[in-house]
Structure 1
Amino acid sequence: MPGDSGSPLRKLAQRLGVAIALVTFVALSAYLDRGGYSDSDGNGLSLLDSFYYATVTVTTTGYGDIAPQSESARLITTLLVTPARVLFLIVLVGTTLELLAERTRYAYRLSRWRSDLSAHTVVCGFGSKGRAAVHELLARDVPREKIVIIEQDTDARARAAAQGFAVVAGDATRTEVLCEAGVQDAVAVIVAPDRDDAAVLITLTVRELNPTAALAAAVREEENAHLLRQGGADTVITSSGAAGRLLGAATRQPDVVRVLEDLLVSGEGLELIERDVPRDGMSAAEAADGAPIVAIVRDGTPHRFDDPEVATLNAGDRIVCLCSHGD
């Protein structure tokens, strides 16, 4: 969740450090004036006895087997040990109350955040693929506050939070984690984990929770792509296969690969964009407003620009055309 700062464990460690310092202070105070204390067994006060006395004293246990006898020891108890005991209790009670209050504040902030969260995009995984996907979303004017990252890795979560994204810690294959990210209200979900088996399970769970969201998933191996499509992914990207095809093409047609790389980067150079066809009977050239046409999508099925089946367009068709950035 955005806006979280500080670690409960760090705060607890700081309070524990204060408590240990108080016990050590009382133990050393008693040990330095050890002749003024009496032990029930009649022996002198050792360093271990001093720490034992400090522990039972500041925690108000007070077994009474070690007690101050001299005036100096009683003065130390009055002026030093008693304030240390009070401060120890303040630390103990304050830590308990703060932890309870922090949980309440977190639950309240989470509730407020979730109530305002809708029509957002959930990105499952903030590795190299997830970061590239988020960069592309930002380049296509998706507001930063409309992107929610789900990530298990602590370092990756820290990078995402540092960039101002809402971050949910946990395994995206788990239903409760996806629900915490509001996947049921998301307009789009990007599945980009490091493992193909995780991608399949995330896809199945997301589609069960949200049947209508645009769902794009990435896999490493081509043989697993059909599992994602069967699981409900609208678009499946094979990362290793796509990279391999570009590498192969680069050895024979490097200029083509450069153009493809240009197309893959939003916000500069050439861009592929989609346009709606507003009415029946329009030609592709008319709907594209003079831009080169790459494909025509009818009823969710892409057709080549020269396919005779889509020579005449219908309202609701979409054309994919090539434009320069800013057109």
Structure 2
Amino acid sequence: MKDEKQPPPTTGRFSIVRSLWYRSRAEAMDDSEAGRSIVMPVAGTAPPLQQVLRRLAMALVVLAATTLIVWADRDGYHDNANGKLDFLDAAYYATVTLSTTGYGDIVPYSDSARLTNILLVTPLRVLFLIILVGTTLEVLTERTRNQVRIHRWRSRTRDHAVVIGYGTKGRHAIETLLSQGIPKGQIVVVDPERKAIDAASSDGHVAVLGDATRSETLRKAELPSAAQVIVATHRDDTAALVTLTARQLNKRASIVVAVREDENVPLLKQSGADTVVTSSSSAGRLLGVSTVSPHMGAVLEDLMTYGTGLNLVERPVTKNEVGQSPRHSSDLVVAIVRGRQVLDYTDPQAATLQFADRLITIKQTVPGP
């Protein structure tokens, strides 16, 4: 019996159909993926090793302070070995006193030494034990606290944005979302690579490690309750299958997909994508425009980069603009969204603005405080 060959890594229409067929057969097999988990943001939290080293430094500071206290009042202590205390004896007494109840070979006999043990050494011993016990408890409860954080996040997350793929496209998409006022807590990253998940977590995002073509991975990202889905995978066939899975889980979310080839746009539309952005053709058009007019290319790049220079903004029509011409608006109107139709500002149908219209305008970036 001949072995079945795997589909070649192409991005045409027929290659996507073949990939979908191979994927459906693979899902029927028992090949569960290991290591898929939800990773909470780690921004502002020190790594475990750094936390342990910090606590160790605190314990050494307490030990050093106790040693100096004993050494300063060394004449009030008696050493059963030779009767006197040197600096090493003071460090030894501080160590055994903080870590145990003492061996009795060195004892305070003067009133000042005993008062110092009551008022200073005993509180330092308690502080030393708190540091040690706190480190142990933190290690033991880390997993439980992480599970509590995940449970709390999943119960509160609604109408968020799910970004599938934390490569160059995914990161720039998140930067634009953040510049438009969407908080980091409302953005969830899904990626199959541990390195990308660690980077997203370090950037302050909730991240899900796993294959986004599988429904259980997208459910971990709470995709059924998401409002926006951005598919920024490396391959078009993967993007098609992710879009199919996402649309099956969520019928109302807005799904935006990035693909490489124009011929795959209709297939992505049929798969459930609301908007399909062709990266190769868009880059090619920008290259052509920049070749003919570098200034025009710079303006287009500025318009596509939200938060700097000029911004493309979609907003509702105000009461004062209803019944007026788009040219009378205080902003530079370039298009009117009426229902599901986008009208050019020169279109005769857009000569009079209606109450339910939305305007796509060009506005100057307002510097922040």
- Residue equivalent to 2:309: 269
Give, in whole Å, the separation in 2 of the partners of 1:109 and 1:222: 42
Aligned pairs, number? 235
2:325 to 283, 287, 299: 283
Identity %: 44
**Structure 1 Cα separation of the partners of residues 253 and 315 of structure 2:** 20
Asked if structure 1 preserves the Cα contact closer than 8 Å seen for 2:336 and 2:343, the reply is yes
- Residue 102 of structure 1 and its aligned partner are, at CA, apart by 6.9
Per the alignment, residue 239 of structure 1 pairs with 279
Partner of 1:210: 250
CA contact (8 A) 2:316 2:356 kept: yes
- Does the 8 Å contact 2:232/2:257 carry over to 1? yes
Asked whether 1:162 is paired with 2:191, we answer no
Cα deviations by residue, 1:270-300 (Å, 9 ceiling, x for unpaired): 11111212455232234x32x2211111112
Q: Which has the higher contact order (CA 8 A, sep 6+)?
A: 2
| In 1, Cα distance between equivalents of 2:281 and 2:252 | 28
Cα distance in 2 for partners of 1:261, 1:276 equals 25
- 1:11-59 CA distance string (max 9 Å, x none): xxxxxxxxxxxxxxxxxxxxxxxxxxxxxxxxxxxxxxxxxxxxxxxxx
Q: Which residue of 2 aligns with 1:2?
A: 40
- Could you tell me how far apart the structure 2 residues matched to 1:3 and 1:326 are? 30
2:229 is the alignment partner of 1:189: yes
Structure 1: runs of 5+ lacking an equivalent:
8-93
Q: Tell me whether 1:138 sits opposite 2:178 in the alignment.
A: yes
Distance 1:109-1:250 versus aligned 2 partners, 3 A rule: same
* Matching residue within 282, 285, 298 for 1:258: 298
Q: 1:306 to 1:3 in 2, by over 3 A?
A: closer
1:131 Cα offset (Å): 0.6
2:29 counterpart residue number: none
Shift of 1:155: 1.2
Once superposed, which parts of structure 1, at least 4 consecutive aligned residues long, lie more than 6 Å away? 4-7
Give the 3-state SS of the residue equivalent to 1:251 in structure 2: helix
How many Å apart are 1:117 and its aligned residue?
0.8
Contact 1:263–1:272 (8 Å) recurs in 2:
yes
Residue equivalent to 2:267? 227
- Aligned residue for 2:323, secondary structure, equals coil
Answer whether contact 2:41 2:202 (CA < 8 A) is retained.
no
Q: Which residue pairs with 1:153 in the alignment?
A: 193
* Maintained 8 Å contact 1:278/1:316: no
Q: Please give the TM-score of this superposition, normalised by the length of structure 2.
A: 0.60
Residues 124, 151 of structure 1: 8 Å contact kept: yes
2:338 to 274, 288, 298: 298
Match of 2:152 in 1: 112
1:166-211 CA-partner distances (Å, limit 9, x unpaired)? 0000011110111110111111110101010111111111111111
Describe the shift of the 1:269–1:3 C-alpha distance in structure 2 as closer, same or farther (beyond 3 A). closer
1:174 aligns with 2:207: no
